[in-house]
């Protein structure tokens, strides 16, 4: 049965949209907190507003986290700069540091950095020498990604996504991504920052490429984020970007249809904003409209990716099918979560069969798909990952948490795996600890 939004949910969304467009009253604190806008509210409310102090804690936390990430990041960027590596900083961290009214106005995740492909090996070597943990894809499966590797400090706050293309891709056909990336490099501007010389997109490309194309041509599949309208308005107003200039750049990059679709849902200059999730029909229609500009998107792109990766993925998965099957049977036998986790926890690690963590996680992902099907639950994936890593000598922890839906639409639960108190970077879920309230951990302590 399709979900039908309640009057309360619709009113909550309308209130948020109106406030973001500057024509409505301040939404409730809980709504802003869940939508990760509490810190932003603190920066835009007048100092005399009686509602402002309620947002101070969220602002302080966002500001502190930003400065912690910056402190961890600077030595890496300085080393890359001294080695002559070209760097282009874009999206969340770049906007928070250089474009927002205050660095604590937003809660951002990864630090996104674009590096030319010929310099990737050097950048990777320097990062390892400085103690960064590399999130490399296993070589057992072909990977056609804009993101060759990520970097984390296992007990730190910074997570760096290193890109070779500024547009998402997961298939071997990537001429569009390369063409747009080259155009962004050519139009980029140099910024001197903390003794480092780096690049950032031109103002028009901040809006068109780093915001609009990222939102429409990625795994988010046209789903807007509340901060999109804030970023759009701030950059356009700060740099006096006229609509004809944005449209001209879209023609140059070949994404006019995508721009038009985005503006039909998010255009602060026309007082237009729709934060509702697109329907399946809307996504299909927009993917078709953007086909000539980007190529296949959405479900068809994922299907082609799975077809290409299936032979190697299946071979890697065979070693982990017994673990996924054991988890499947344990989930049928145990309704109590603690008993379930105990049942799938190995008595002792099989040290003699140690394998790289990325290989284990990728193999488990494919094994779970084989055993549980395409609709495997997050609990099955997390339990299988936890059990397999324990078997292969990794002392990981299984964790679950809960949070409220964005429109008071009930409580959602999620399960994940941690290592040394940090969400496994290979899961690509760095914000779990801030999004979910932890309610279970095994082993404890």
pLDDT in tens, 105-162: 988 888 999 999 999 999 999 999 999 987 755 555 666 788 888 888 877 888 899 9
Same domain, 245 and 308: no
* Total-model pTM: 0.80
Residue 416: how many other CB atoms lie within 10 Å = 21
When pLDDT is cut at 50, 70 and 90, the band that residue 405 belongs to is low
Same domain, 43 and 18: no
Overall domain count for the chain: 3
Same domain, 43 and 9: no
Tens of pLDDT, residues 300-313: 898 888 788 778 77
Q: Which residues contact 61 (CB under 8 A, 6 or more apart)?
A: 39
Q: How many Å apart are CA 279 and CA 286, to the nearest integer?
A: 11
What confidence score (pLDDT) does residue 430 get?
A: 72
Give the chain's mean pLDDT: 88
What confidence score (pLDDT) does residue 406 get?
A: 52
Q: How many Å apart are CA 430 and CA 320, to the nearest integer?
A: 25
- Annotate 26-46 with b (16+ C-beta within 10 A) or e (fewer): bbeeebbbbbbbbbbbbbbbe
Same domain, 29 and 46: no
* Full domain range(s) for residue 17: 1-35
Q: How many Å apart are CA 310 and CA 305, to the nearest integer?
A: 8
Last residue of a domain, one of 255, 277, 295: 295
CATH number reported for the structural domain that contains residue 224 in this entry: 3.30.460.40
Same domain, 291 and 326: no
Last residue of a domain, one of 295, 314, 335: 295
Q: Give 231 or 109, the one with higher predicted confidence.
A: 231
What confidence score (pLDDT) does residue 10 get?
A: 39
When pLDDT is cut at 50, 70 and 90, the band that residue 425 belongs to is confident
Same domain, 127 and 51: yes
Same domain, 27 and 55: no
The sheet carrying 437-442 orders its strands as 422-423, 411-419, 397-404, 437-442
């Amino acid at each position: 049965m399709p979900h039908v939004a309640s009057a309360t949910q619709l009113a909550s969304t309308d209130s948020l949209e109106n406030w973001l467009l500057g024509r409505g009253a301040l939404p409730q604190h809980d709504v802003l907190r869940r939508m990760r806008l509490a810190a932003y509210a603190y920066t835009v409310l007048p100092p005399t507003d009686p509602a402002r102090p309620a947002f101070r804690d969220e602002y302080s936390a966002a500001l502190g986290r930003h400065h912690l990430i910056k402190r961890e990041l600077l030595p890496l960027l300085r080393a890359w700069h001294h080695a002559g590596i070209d760097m282009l900083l874009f999206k969340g961290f770049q906007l928070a540091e250089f474009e927002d009214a205050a660095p604590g106005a937003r809660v951002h995740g990864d630090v996104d950095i674009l590096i030319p492909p010929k310099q990737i090996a050097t950048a990777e070597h320097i990062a390892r020498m400085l103690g960064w943990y590399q999130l490399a894809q296993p070589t057992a499966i072909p990977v056609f990604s804009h993101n060759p590797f990520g970097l984390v400090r296992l007990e730190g706050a910074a997570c760096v996504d290193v890109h070779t293309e500024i547009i998402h891709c997961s298939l071997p056909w990537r001429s569009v991504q390369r063409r747009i990336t080259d155009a962004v490099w050519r139009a980029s501007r140099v910024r001197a920052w903390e003794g480092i010389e780096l690049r950032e997109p031109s103002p028009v490309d901040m809006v068109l490429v780093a915001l609009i194309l990222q939102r429409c041509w990625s795994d988010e599949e046209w789903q807007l984020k509340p901060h999109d309208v804030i970023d759009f308005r701030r950059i356009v107003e700060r740099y006096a970007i006229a609509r004809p200039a944005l449209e001209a750049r879209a023609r140059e990059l070949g994404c006019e249809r995508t721009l038009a679709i985005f503006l039909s849902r998010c255009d602060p200059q026309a007082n237009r904003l729709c934060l509702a999730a697109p329907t399946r029909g809307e996504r299909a229609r927009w993917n078709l409209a953007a086909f000539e500009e980007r190529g296949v998107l959405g479900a068809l792109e994922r299907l082609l990716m799975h077809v290409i990766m299936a032979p190697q993925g299946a071979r890697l998965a065979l070693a982990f099918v017994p673990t996924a099957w054991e988890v499947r049977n344990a989930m049928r036998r145990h309704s109590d979560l603690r008993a379930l986790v105990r049942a799938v926890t190995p008595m002792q690690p099989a040290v003699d069969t140690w394998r790289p963590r990325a290989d284990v996680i990728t193999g488990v992902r494919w094994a779970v798909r084989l055993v549980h099907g395409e609709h495997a639950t997050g609990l099955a994936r997390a339990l299988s990952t936890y059990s397999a890593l324990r078997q292969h000598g990794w002392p990981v922890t299984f964790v679950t948490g809960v949070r409220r839906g964005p429109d008071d639409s009930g409580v959602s639960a999620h399960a994940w795996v941690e290592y040394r108190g940090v969400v496994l970077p290979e899961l690509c879920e760095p914000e779990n600890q801030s999004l979910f309230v932890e309610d279970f951990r095994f082993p404890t302590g």
